[in-house]
């Protein structure tokens, strides 16, 4: 998994977004490999894998070596022997000892190797392994959930870019249309067809719509930056020549028909992960109980003296034994710890119940709003088409002097709102469907 991430990261970050077309599918593929959230999730998943192995290794045999080197002169040796055997020097005298009873210096070297094997710590090792296993499963589910979130967040950012892009295009068309009418008004004014106030109004509208275009451009650029951020790119990589799919590409997605939604939360990855954490909390209670039980360990120790005998040959001592530890009183630490983990378990159970109810409420909300949004797309499309025809008729009537400038501008504004409104309704509907799929754990990269 980690190798897959590194390969995808290298390919993603160094062959990333430059000019040309960036499709929704490409953006989502980049998100599930290169986004900040996915890279952090992969690192967390690997950390939990090593945590599980570390928990298992704690109950494997351990081998330890120890060695000691001691060098003493005659005076230190006399004092040492005197402290070990009181009265030893009573009939010998200090001069006799110092003149030959002991060597001038003495060196001792000892080696020992100890093999230890934990046998039982009241069952805590079993519970710790279960905790590590359940935590690893929960992290794996959270990794999958992070993938769904990366897809959804990138899709939302992509749709926001499309809306901003279409608003920019609408601002361009509106400015061009206004400039054309300004030119017509100037010609007609020279012939006495329209008053000077019309020309001045068109000039004012041109200036205002040039500003509108600048604002739309900034909004589009900001949306692009958010899109790049959603799949792990930095702001320095932004290329304004980047092209996105037009909203017409998603009309076929809508044309597939209204999605059938059910209130099913069993496949929700967040809930599945939380169930594993509930098991972790339950196992933690058992670990707290194991603190009352005895610990049993076995050991084998071999030791040998003399510096020249680095490897023992025949002067070896050994010892085999077992140790039993039983805590009789711990200052109420065990009891208070059990109470703490018991309430933590109860909290986890409550959190699980809360998530279940929250997911049901959220799915019910999506279901209701999706049906309304789906019907609203068709209504918005009809409104856009009607306003488009109405503007054409109104333009002809204005050119013929049958309507005034204010009436024409009102229809033009309604058409711009209808065009952008249709795109927003369409993408809002598709995003609600994506949110539903994310909540039931079925969201996939767009084809």
Q: How is 247-268 classified by DSSP, letter by letter?
A: GGGGHHHHHT-PPP-----TT-
Q: Given this model, what pLDDT does residue 200 score?
A: 92
| Strand, helix or coil for residue 73 | strand
Q: 291: helix, coil or strand?
A: coil
Backbone phi and psi for residue 101, each to the nearest 5 degrees, phi listed first: -70, -30
Burial of 336 per CB tally in 10 Å (0-12, 13-18, 19+): exposed
**Angle 405-439/333-399 helices, nearest 10 degrees?**
150
* pLDDT of res. 402: 85
- Please give the DSSP secondary-structure letter assigned to residue 97: I
Parallel, antiparallel, or unpaired: how do β-strands 20-22 and 242-244 relate? parallel
Specify the 3-state DSSP secondary structure of 295. strand
Neighbours of 356 (CB within 10 A): 15
Instruction: Mark the ranges of the chain whose per-residue pLDDT is less than 70.
Output: 1-19, 55-56, 74, 76-106, 121-123, 237-238, 240, 304-316, 331
Give the chain's largest Cα–Cα span: 145
Look up the pTM and report it: 0.75
Beta carbons of 271 and 74 less than 8 angstroms apart: no
CA distance 234 to 242: 15
> How many Cβ atoms are within 10 Å of 30's Cβ, its own excluded?
26
């Amino acid at each position: 998994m980690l190798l897959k991430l590194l390969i995808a990261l290298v390919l993603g970050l160094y062959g990333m977004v430059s000019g040309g077309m960036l499709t929704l599918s490409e953006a989502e593929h980049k998100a599930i490999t290169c986004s900040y959230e996915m890279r952090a999730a992969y690192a967390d998943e690997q950390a939990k894998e090593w945590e599980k192995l570390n928990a298992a290794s704690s109950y494997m045999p351990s081998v330890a070596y120890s060695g000691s080197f001691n060098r003493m002169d005659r005076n230190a040796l006399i004092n040492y022997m005197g402290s070990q055997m009181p009265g030893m020097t009573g009939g010998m005298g200090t001069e006799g000892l110092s003149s030959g009873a002991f060597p001038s210096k003495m060196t001792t070297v000892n080696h020992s190797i100890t093999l230890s094997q934990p046998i039982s710590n009241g069952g805590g090792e079993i519970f710790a392994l279960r905790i590590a296993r359940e935590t690893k499963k929960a992290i794996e589910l959270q990794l999958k959930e992070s993938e769904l979130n990366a897809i959804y967040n990138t899709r939302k950012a992509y749709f926001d870019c499309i809306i901003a892009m279409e608003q920019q295009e609408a601002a361009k068309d509106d400015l061009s249309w206004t400039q054309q009418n300004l030119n017509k008004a100037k010609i007609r004014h020279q012939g006495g067809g329209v008053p000077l106030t019309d020309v001045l109004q068109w000039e004012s509208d041109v200036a205002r719509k040039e500003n509108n275009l600048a604002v739309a451009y900034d909004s589009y650029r900001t949306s692009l930056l958010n899109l790049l951020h959603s799949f792990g790119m930095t702001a320095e990589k932004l290329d304004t020549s980047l092209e996105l799919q037009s909203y017409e590409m998603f009309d076929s997605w809508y044309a597939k028909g209204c999605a059938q939604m059910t209130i099913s939360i069993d496949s929700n990855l967040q809930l599945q992960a939380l169930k594993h954490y509930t098991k972790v909390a339950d196992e933690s209670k058992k670990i707290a109980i194991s603190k009352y039980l005895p610990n049993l360990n076995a050991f084998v120790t071999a030791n040998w003296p003399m510096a020249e005998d680095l490897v023992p040959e025949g002067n070896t001592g050994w010892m085999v034994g077992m140790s039993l530890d039983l805590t009789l009183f711990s200052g109420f630490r065990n009891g208070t710890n059990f109470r703490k983990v018991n309430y933590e378990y109860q909290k986890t159970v409550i959190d699980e119940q809360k998530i279940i109810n929250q997911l049901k409420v959220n799915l019910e909300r999506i279901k209701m709003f999706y049906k309304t949004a789906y019907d609203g797309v068709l209504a918005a499309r009809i409104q856009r088409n009607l306003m488009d025809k109405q503007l054409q008729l109104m333009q002809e009537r204005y050119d013929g002097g049958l309507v005034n400038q204010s009436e024409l501008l009102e229809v033009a504004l309604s058409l711009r709102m209808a065009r952008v409104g249709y795109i927003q309704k369409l993408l809002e509907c598709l995003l609600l469907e994506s949110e539903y799929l994310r909540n039931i754990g079925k969201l996939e990269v767009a084809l």
